[in-house]
């Protein structure tokens, strides 16, 4: 197992320029890191690649200072150029095998899955972590498919790789998700749309800890 996989736990925050309430992405990222997030993912579908690479490189520096992991959504070229810790791909992106060809041995790959069968296939194909979602209904991503807690529980029973749960997870729901087997809790709007990203992060991290999961 890649040593970075040992850090795939706690709060995983998606940094998206469309989910900031008009603030720059670095404000959200700084609040998330100061609040105790262990993993950041840059998901930028609106800016040109040159801007995305620049943003990723700055986030790389911020994550290094906080001993956090940086993941890039979809863009394997950006992950390579920014020396990110890894890339996250969906069911319709590059295959895990093809994605791996571009990465260095110390970079990791995460995969999105809504079905147990997809999760098992991703695990068999070498994904370093398995994302399961949407656990609950979410409004921050329109093309998600429902997965639910039962899918999360079954995947946990059949997969030993780190599991990241995503989709509509609030601090009130964290215990249900942790108890169902998630190693990390992934959120976007819960932090990016919060009036106080740092405080919102601290509250989620506390909920994860109280649920019995590792946070830092």
In a domain, 135, yes or no: yes
Active-site positions read 43, 112, 141
Evaluate if residue 143 carries a pLDDT over 80: no
Buried b vs exposed e over 82-120: b needs ≥16 C-beta within 10 Å? bebbbbbbeeebbebeebbeebeeebbbbbbbbebebbb
In a domain, 216, yes or no: no
Tokens of 17: 């320029």
Tell which residue, 19, 45, 47, has the closest CA to residue 32: 19
In a domain, 201, yes or no: yes
In a domain, 166, yes or no: yes
In a domain, 153, yes or no: yes
Identify the pLDDT of residue 2: 81
148-204 per-position pLDDT tens digit: 999 999 999 999 999 999 999 999 999 999 999 999 999 999 999 999 999 999 999
What is the separation, in whole angstroms, between the first and last Cα of the chain?
19
Evaluate if residue 55 carries a pLDDT over 90: yes
**Total number of domains in the chain:** 1
Tell me how far apart the alpha carbons of residues 20 and 27 are, in angstroms, rounded to a whole number.
9
Evaluate if residue 44 carries a pLDDT over 70: yes
Evaluate if residue 141 carries a pLDDT over 80: no
Identify the pLDDT of residue 1: 65
Identify the pLDDT of residue 142: 65
Tell me how far apart the alpha carbons of residues 111 and 27 are, in angstroms, rounded to a whole number.
27
Supply the range of the domain harboring residue 54.
Answer: 7-210
């Amino acid at each position: 197992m890649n040593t970075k996989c040992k850090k795939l736990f706690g709060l995983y925050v998606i940094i998206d320029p469309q989910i900031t309430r008009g603030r720059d992405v670095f404000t959200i990222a700084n609040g998330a890191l100061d609040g105790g997030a262990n993993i950041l993912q840059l998901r930028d579908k609106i800016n040109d690649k040159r801007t995305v690479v620049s943003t990723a490189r700055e986030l790389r520096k911020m994550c290094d200072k906080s001993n956090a992991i940086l993941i890039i959504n979809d863009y394997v070229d950006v992950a390579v150029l920014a020396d990110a810790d890894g890339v996250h791909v969906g069911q319709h992106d590059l295959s895990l095998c093809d994605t791996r060809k571009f990465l260095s041995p110390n970079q990791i790959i995460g995969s999105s899955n809504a079905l147990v069968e997809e999760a098992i296939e991703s695990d068999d194909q070498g994904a370093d972590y398995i994302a399961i979602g949407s656990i609950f209904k979410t409004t921050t991503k329109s093309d998600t498919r429902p997965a639910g807690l039962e899918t999360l529980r079954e995947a946990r029973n059949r997969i030993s790789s780190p599991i990241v749960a995503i989709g509509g997870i609030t601090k009130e729901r964290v215990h249900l998700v942790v108890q169902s087997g998630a190693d990390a809790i992934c959120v976007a709007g819960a932090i990016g749309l919060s009036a106080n990203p740092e405080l919102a992060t601290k509250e989620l991290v506390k909920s994860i800890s109280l649920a019995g999961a590792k946070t830092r």
